[in-house]
Structure 1
Amino acid sequence: MLKHQILPTTIVGSYPQPDWLIDRERLNHSLPPRVRAETLWRIAEPWLDEAQEAATLMAIRDQEEVGIDIIGDGEMRRESYSNRLATALSGIDTEKHGTAIDRTGKANPVPLVSGPIRRLAPIEAQDAAFLRRHTKRPVKLTLPGPFTMTQQAENGYYPDSRAMAMDYADAVNAEVKDLFAAGVDVVQLDEPYLQARADDAQYYAIEAINRALDGVGGTTALHICFGYAMVHHGAGSTKAKPKAYDFLAELDASVVDIISVEAAQPKLDPAILAELPSKTIMYGVLDLSTPEVETPEIVAGRIREALRYVDAERLWIAPDCGMKYHSRHHSLEKLKAMVDGAAIVRAEIA
């Protein structure tokens, strides 16, 4: 496990992309794309890589300035948390998309799997090297997990979803090993569909996750999620999140070191953390359903509640989810409150 100070702070994954980089109005009124969505970018292809690097540097510096302990790259190069890696694998039909039902019950275009899923070359290793080169603090990168990618694809090749998930897991495993080789301290798998498809998860999710992390030799995390709180579906608003997880205790049997849970917005009963006795908890203390900024005292109170069920040595402090759909201004203020709230509790238990 990564050595760190007590109650370290980190981001979950995404950070607000600048308006000059991506069309945030379009982004904010749709679910994260499962297939490539190049038209979201405001910068033309010849200059896009350089622009994404500039935005990544901004995200790194913002985190450093507010005092975040474990730095992420903010996922500035991604149209969504999953589609960059999911569409870069072989076995994906390049001529047409598939269709799958999303967690809101709507049909969406998704990768169509028409051959064996394989990772032919590193996909995010250059992102890892860039992040490692530009901060002296511990760093964390995220990847979509094999169960979620399976749920977000149409199977036109494999005999069943489990078989497809195992090949996704092998592809993720190769990518995770490359990220650690590039100097990343923590690699996190994003698996929101453990919650959205809890019944299917019972059959093969733990097997796929363990296979994705087999022999990786670094600190690993996994984020389960109720969905982005600030995405606006047309003229409507996001529905209320559940109050409890449907797939959580099962993760104690996984090889993952750290489990990231949302707690602030859903007002999660922290007693549920007792279901993960062998894991470190990355605990969500920032409600991302609103731009309203918590006070450090509110954050400290949420941390104290978690400490009733988890020792301080097993608790990390984070927002509920990614901050992609928030403004940079509100994100900075919320993260500063999180850092200050963690410092309050750290002083109390020192």
Structure 2
Amino acid sequence: MSIPFPHSTIIGYPRIGPRRELKKALEAYWSGQADRAALEDEARRIRESTYARLTELGLNPHDSSIPASFSLYDQVLDTAVVLGAVPERFADLPDDDGVLDLDAYFTLARGDATRPPLEMTKWFDTNYHYLVPEIGAATPFALSPDSVLREVDEAAEAGYRVRPTLIGPVTFLLLSKADDGTDPAFVPLDRLHDVLPLYRDLLRLLADRGVRWVQFDEPGLVADTEMPEERIEAAVREAYGHLAEGADRPALFVATPYGTLGTRLAGLAATGVDAVHLDLVKGAVPTAAEIGVLRGKTLVAGIVDGHNVWKADLAAASGVLDTLRADDVALSVATSTSLQHVPYDAGIEQALDPLLRSWLSFADQKVQEVAVLARHVAHPGVVDGEIAAAARILAGRRASPGVEVPAVRARTADLTPSDFVRGDYGERRAAQQAALELPVLPTTTIGSFPQTAEIRSARARAARGALTAEQYEAALQDEIRRVVRLQEDLGFDVLVHGEAERNDMVQYFAEHLNGFDVTRHGWVQSYGSRCTRPSLLWGDVSRPAPITVPWTSFAQSLTDRPVKGMLTGPVTILAWSFVRTDQPLADTANQVALALRDEVEDLERAGTRIIQVDEPALRELLPLRRADQAAYLAWSVRAFTLATASAAPATQIHTHLCYSEFGSVLAAIDGLDADVTSLEAARSRMEVVHDLGEHGFGRGVGPGVYDIHSPRVPSVEEIQALLERAVRHVPAEQLWVNPDCGLKTRGYRETEESLRNLVGAARAVRAAVEAPAGLG
């Protein structure tokens, strides 16, 4: 194609709104407090304000620099809807033309009274969750382009030539799962030849509207899968050979964030694509030979980190860009990934220390960094002043107090192998059975209970001084009493205190540990309308005082049943924070683990008999290439065992993992050596229990039976069926009964009803397995 690619661009931009406007609009629509028109108006306003802001920050509004990367819920779901890829169990949702309306779209995402939603899992090595398409050998496809075309037209009317963005066909099918009942030999990639004509038709429609460039995100190409390499290479050739045919199309830009393409680069470059993005932060800098395969195309260098918030080293980045200059290869500058993984603007974080704030680069600042580096590529020397200023800030950061603390470093240096090892599990199990006297299939929850409007209001009033510390503590104690009484009334065997004092499972600890800071407005989308505020881990980590002990002890004083102490594990604290990059993650993980080890020991001294150390993000940080996975799993498991290994044999250590594919990391989960492990399983309909049985997992395990990320209430019969499937693969004496995750985001009405059904199902299955004939 003769259309030049923009000199500077980004791969995507946050879409929730700087003040979470989309979250509020979605939840108002779902609750019936706003109509469809109000939701669509707010979505349109967010899109147009995004285009205006990106123009202000330095992107060209007329040359396709600005990606149309907005989504009402999830970008993978959006592509599934464009392709009409609707599972058989939702076959009633499309209209006669195969089109899904807005409510049908949300039904796929959130389920309804009788059907669970699409499965949800982690998006590569990020804390974003995507919805997993379900595709069978007979799944019908039908192009539904209206949403894509409408956004293009809307942008054009506002004066912007945007770049439509979709999940590429190879990644879309690699991320899909086979529909239930499909032949075991079938994989969704078998349907590639069926979806390519739809992508091709969409390209024609976009060309008719004057679209010059279309972006296809293909992060699936940077990850190792079970698929044979030759099969993926053939799929790339087929897909982009077909899409590049003919002149009636926009230019094709393929983005490959989150890792290195490796040998797949040559195959992609050999097709007719016009520009290829490489992630130069997580991935390797290409050699001269690799650059050479892009002759006649544009190399889009993802040199600004889209996945972390620290100011770019512009001197190092400009040096890398200089090595990428090659004859007959155009060079453009971009972010390494979509900026959906970082907050909007560091400039509004006025409550942060100005020195710390000077180290930060959120989405808006990253756009500016891209623009500076693009000017360097175009005119070397013109931005030397900006490069030198960034270097001075980075040098000052390295010398700042708290970045390196000798006492913390001495403690980690003194660790010995015995600090990472707990006693024999058989002895521990016997000691715990004697101490706890729990029934078969004991019931518990994962930790948090719904955060009511009253609790959120009390926290806000306390923060601004409208409540005294004593008044705020009394409000939290009232909520803990309510939660403990509710669990006793429902019949739970192991209780939690509900975590009313915690705004977020990571931020709460960050607020109490040295080496961290927290933002006020640094929201990042996790899935749908769910947003988190990742903390800033900028220095050496230590614990100045106990964190959770008073709340756990208070809850235990209210009941004779055991109350779990609730901690967030070291890997999850790292995964859900923006972490310093000036030392190995393993070193930072050990610092966090030692702080948690101190908390475990204080909980024990206070009489806590069960302590849960959550690691929902264990698999999230798993490198996408197999060659890198063993080293990661080694240090991440060691960090967890460092945090928990000092616990006495009679203290039962739990951990929790959620929304990941667990089969590939079961050996590492086993290596955590937790006495009980709870896992997400409801939305995937208990798939994990087969892997547990095959692995011979020998400790306690609680595959979740209640999907808390959907508003639907599962029936007793539904939960009982899941438990009965679990018992067929895992001995009943190892099984626990629990939800998939914490209940913080749910309302009390649905929570109470669901938990009542959970306990009822557990009692029914317990009675069956204890009967002489068992479950048969």
TM-score scaled by length of structure 2: 0.39
Indicate if the aligned counterparts of 1:258 and 1:280 stay in contact, CA closer than 8 A.
yes
Which segment is superposed worse, 141-150 or 246-255?
246-255
Report the alpha carbon displacement of residue 164 of structure 1 after superposing the two structures with TM: 0.4
CA distance in structure 1 between the aligned counterparts of 2:502 and 2:733, rounded to whole angstroms = 33
Distance 1:93 1:79, change over 3 A: closer
CA distance in structure 2 between the aligned counterparts of 1:110 and 1:321, rounded to whole angstroms = 19
CA distance in structure 1 between the aligned counterparts of 2:489 and 2:522, rounded to whole angstroms = 42
Indicate if the aligned counterparts of 2:526 and 2:532 stay in contact, CA closer than 8 A.
no
Counterpart of 1:263, as a letter, is A
Partner SS, residue 753 of structure 2: helix
2:752 is the counterpart of 1:332: yes
Report the alpha carbon displacement of residue 112 of structure 1 after superposing the two structures with TM: 3.1
The answer for unaligned runs of 5 or more in structure 1 is 25-36, 227-241
Aligned pair partner of 1:272 in 663, 688, 691: 691
* 1:283 paired residue number: 703
Deviations 1:123-177 (A, max 9, x none): 1110121011011111112111001112233444852111000010000111011
* 2:669 paired residue number: 251
Report the alpha carbon displacement of residue 290 of structure 1 after superposing the two structures with TM: 2.8
* 2:440 paired residue number: 6
Indicate if the aligned counterparts of 1:186 and 1:220 stay in contact, CA closer than 8 A.
yes
* 2:644 paired residue number: 213
Matches within 5 A, 1:193-232: 193-199=617-623, 201-217=632-648, 218-226=651-659
Counterpart of 1:189, as a letter, is V
2:610 is the counterpart of 1:176: no
CA distance in structure 2 between the aligned counterparts of 1:288 and 1:252, rounded to whole angstroms = 25
Report the alpha carbon displacement of residue 258 of structure 1 after superposing the two structures with TM: 0.9
Q: Which protein is bigger by CA-based radius of gyration?
A: 2
Report the alpha carbon displacement of residue 325 of structure 1 after superposing the two structures with TM: 1.0
Partner SS, residue 265 of structure 1: coil
The answer for unaligned runs of 5 or more in structure 2 is 1-428, 624-628, 771-776
Distance 1:67 1:108, change over 3 A: closer
2:506 is the counterpart of 1:82: yes
Deviations 1:186-211 (A, max 9, x none): 11111121132222742521010011
* 2:735 paired residue number: 315
Relative contact order, CA 8 A, sep 6+: which one is greater? 1
CA RMSD, Structure 1 to Structure 2 (Å) = 2.9
Which segment is superposed worse, 205-214 or 149-158?
149-158
CA distance in structure 2 between the aligned counterparts of 1:157 and 1:11, rounded to whole angstroms = 35
Counterpart of 1:309, as a letter, is H
Matches within 5 A, 1:131-210: 131-156=555-580, 159-199=583-623, 201-210=632-641
Indicate if the aligned counterparts of 2:703 and 2:738 stay in contact, CA closer than 8 A.
yes
Distance 1:197 1:51, change over 3 A: same
* 1:262 paired residue number: 680
CA distance in structure 2 between the aligned counterparts of 1:279 and 1:216, rounded to whole angstroms = 17
TM-score scaled by length of structure 1: 0.83
CA distance in structure 2 between the aligned counterparts of 1:261 and 1:99, rounded to whole angstroms = 29
CA distance in structure 2 between the aligned counterparts of 1:265 and 1:302, rounded to whole angstroms = 11
Indicate if the aligned counterparts of 2:445 and 2:496 stay in contact, CA closer than 8 A.
yes
CA distance in structure 2 between the aligned counterparts of 1:295 and 1:113, rounded to whole angstroms = 42
Partner SS, residue 541 of structure 2: strand
Distance 1:107 1:281, change over 3 A: closer
CA distance in structure 2 between the aligned counterparts of 1:135 and 1:346, rounded to whole angstroms = 24
Aligned pair partner of 2:761 in 335, 341, 344: 341
* 1:118 paired residue number: 542
Counterpart of 1:208, as a letter, is A
State the identity %: 28
User: Greater helix share, 1 or 2?
Assistant: 2
Distance 1:177 1:276, change over 3 A: farther
Which segment is superposed worse, 42-51 or 323-332?
42-51
Counterpart of 1:292, as a letter, is R
CA distance in structure 2 between the aligned counterparts of 1:70 and 1:14, rounded to whole angstroms = 13
Distance 1:292 1:99, change over 3 A: closer
Matches within 5 A, 1:34-45: 44-45=466-467
Partner SS, residue 564 of structure 2: strand
Indicate if the aligned counterparts of 2:572 and 2:615 stay in contact, CA closer than 8 A.
yes
Distance 1:319 1:110, change over 3 A: closer
Report the alpha carbon displacement of residue 319 of structure 1 after superposing the two structures with TM: 0.6
